[in-house]
């Protein structure tokens, strides 16, 4: 299986366990790996034979701007399911980092991986 990767994608969403933390959008950083068969697009050189990563980023930003999550785990699962269902990925791995949330900590987050059913 081949991989399309999107690294350090900055998005805005409302995220946090305390209610006050979800009042205003925060910057979250995503690393995304999408498993896909790229053999056809390697030969055709056509965007129609692959996943349009610009469309993936636009869709993620759109859905997260309208969403609110308590846990980074829920946010990561939301992104995985979106990519699998809307873009036809064969697998997806998402790393969600919430930077600078605790003193002396660069970031906190999770990394999850899901396979298409």
Q: What Cα–Cα distance (Å) separates residue 41 from each residue in 26, 38, 46, 47, 75?
A: 36, 5, 6, 7, 30
- Given this model, what pLDDT does residue 58 score? 98
Inform me whether the pLDDT recorded for 106 exceeds 90.
no
pLDDT digits (tens, 9 = 90+) for 64-81: 999 999 999 999 999 999
Burial class of residue 22, CB neighbours in 10 A (0-12, 13-18, 19+): middle
Domains of the chain: 2-115 (3.30.1130.10)
Alpha helices of 1-117 — where are they, by DSSP H?
A: 39-44, 53-65, 72-87
Annotated active-site residue 98? The verdict is: yes
pLDDT value, residue 116: 94
Distance CA 8, CA 69 (A): 20
The radius of gyration computed from the CA coordinates of the chain, to the nearest angstrom, equals 15
Tell me which of 14, 70, 98, 106 is the catalytic residue. 98
Q: pLDDT per residue over 9-67, tens digit each?
A: 999 999 989 898 889 999 999 999 999 999 999 999 999 999 999 999 999 999 999 99
pTM: 0.92
């Amino acid at each position: 299986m081949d991989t399309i990767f999107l690294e350090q994608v900055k998005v805005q969403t409302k995220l946090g366990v305390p209610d006050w933390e979800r009042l205003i959008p925060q910057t979250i950083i995503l690393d995304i790996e999408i498993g896909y068969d790229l053999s056809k697009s390697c030969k055709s050189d056509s965007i129609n034979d692959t996943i349009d990563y610009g469309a993936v980023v636009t869709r993620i930003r759109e859905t997260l701007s309208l969403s609110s999550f308590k846990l980074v785990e829920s946010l990561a699962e939301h992104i995985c399911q979106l990519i699998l269902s809307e873009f036809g990925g064969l697998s997806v791995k998402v790393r969600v980092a919430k930077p600078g949330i605790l003193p002396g900590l660069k970031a906190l987050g999770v990394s999850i991986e899901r396979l298409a059913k």
